[in-house]
Amino acid sequence: MRPARLTGDTISGRVTLVGAGPGDPGLLTVAGREVLSTAEVVVVDRLVSPEVVALAPSDAEIVYAGKSPGSHHLDQDGIHAVLVDRARAGANVVRLKGGDPFVFGRGSEEIEACVAAGVPCSVIPGVTSAFGVPALAGIPVTSRGSSQGVTVVSGHLPPGSANSTIDWRALAVSGNTIVVLMGVGQLGKIAAALIEHGRPGSTPVAIVERGATPAQRTTVSTLDSVDRDARTAGVRSPAIIVVGEVAAPLPVAGAASAPTLPLRGRRVFVPRSRSRSSALASALRHAGAEVLEETVVLPTADADALPASGWLVLRDEDDAVALREGLQRARRDARSLAGVRIAAEPAVAALAGLVPDAATVPADEPSATIPMSWEALPLSDAAVHALTSGDIDALAIPSSGTAAALGQIAQGLPPATKVAVMGERTSTAAAEAGLRVDGIAREPGIDGLVAAVTDFFR
C-alpha cells in the first residue's frame, strides 16, 4: 500500500536503510528485497548493482547518490536532505547502500539526520564486503591455526594522518587478520607502516577488486612488494585488502587469482535502443566484462511516411516499438494500416499490437521498412557519474543512433576510457557527437565489436 500523505504535524513517510550486499543481487537479504519492492523513492549508492535497483517498483523515483574518489554526485548533507524531504512528503523511502549500512557506510549519520527531523527510520543489515568479498575469493578472514581475530579498518586516511584514529602499531603486532576498505590509494603507505611497526614483509596480502561481480579479480602479494605488484596489475577501487596468513586463497569457485577471460576485471558501458535485448551486453559478459547498460535512444516511426499499400516489414523489436510509438504520437491506431500487409514474426508484430499476414514478403512483391527516427534520451545520473568519473573502462557503441545520443557526455569522458564502435557509419556519428573513437570493429556484427573492445586490454 502507498503510505498516507502528511496529516497535520504527523510524518507518514519513513526511511529504511537497506544493505544491498557487495554486488551480486543474490546476496540481498529477503527482508531487504521485501522493503525494496514497496519503495516509492530509492536513494542508491554507486556500488549497488543495477539488478538490485531493478527490484524496486517501476514507478519508484530513483535518486542517484553515488560517490567515487574525488567525485561526489551528492554530498552527505545533500543525501540527508533528500531522505528527510521525501519522507516529509509522505513517501516510503529506501536508502539502498552497498554492503552493510553500518560498516563504513555512514549509515549512522543518515539515521541521526532522520531522527533529528522526526522522520521514522529503521535499518535492514546487509552482507558486508569486508567479510563477504574475501569469502567469495576463497579467503577466510579467520582461521583457528593462523588467525584468531580480524580487524576491519578504513584506509581512506594514510597512516600518520592527524585525523586518523587507527593505531597501526597495535595492528602490526597483533598478528590478527587486517581487512582494509577504501585503501587502494594509500596501499603503499599502509604496507610501509605495518612493516615499520613489526609485521614481517613476507606477510601475505590479497587484494580483491569488484567483489561479487563478474569482474571480480584477486591479486596476491606480500607486504614488501604489494605496492609494486598492485601497480603492475592495474589494481583499482573498489577493492578489499586482506593482510595476514589467511590471504592465500583456497581453491573455491570464483577464487582464481588471475583473470581467465579477456575482459575479466573490465567495466564496459553499452548504450542501447529501447526494447532491443542486448546480445552485445551478453557477449561482453561472456568475455568476462562487467556491463552497465542504458537505453539512450527511443526509436519512433514517422507516421506520415508510412506506406498506404503493399508490404510493411517489421525486422525486429525496434521496428515494432517505433511503429507503435509513432502511431500513438500521431493519435492513430492500426486502422491507419488497413491497406498494408504486415511481414513479421508473430512475437515482433504483437509488440506493435498487430497480427502479421506472413513472416516474410512473397517474392517479387513491393515492400517497405519502417521510416525511423531516433530521439535521444537523457542519461541517468548513475550513468553520467560512471562515465565521467573514470568508473568505465570502455564504451561499446553499436549504432549511429546510440553514438549521437552520447554527445551529452562527450566532453566529460576521461582520456583513459576507450571507445569502440560497430563500423564507419557509427564512427562518423560518434565523431560528429564529439566522441573520441579509439577502435572500429574490423568485422561486422557483435563479435567484431567485442573483439575491438578486447583489443584495448590485451
**Rounded Cα–Cα distance for residues 15 and 114 (Å):** 8
Query: Between the CA of residue 445 and those of 245, 398, 449, what are the distances in Å?
Result: 48, 9, 7
Place of cell 508484430: 349
CA distance 170 to 92: 44
Catalytic residue flag (residue 45):
yes
| Cα distances (angstroms) measured from residue 360 to each of 51, 122, 347, 425 | 37, 58, 14, 28
Q: Which of 24, 97, 182, 319 is catalytic?
A: 182
In angstroms, the CA 164 to CA 73 distance is: 25
Please check whether residue 264 is in contact with residue 256, taking contact to mean a CB–CB distance below 8 angstroms: no
Per the CB < 8 A criterion, the answer to whether 376 and 408 are in contact is yes
Question: Can you spell out the DSSP letters for 376-387?
Answer: E-PPPHHHHHHH
Torsional sign, CA 253, 255, 258, 264: positive
Would the CA dihedral through 240, 245, 247, 250 be positive or negative?
A: negative
Helix (H) or strand (E) holding 81: helix 76-88
- DSSP labels for 271-311? EEETT---HHHHHHHHTT-EEEEEEEEEEEE-GGGS-SSEE
CB 238 within 8 A of CB 156: no
Enumerate the active-site residues: 45, 67, 182
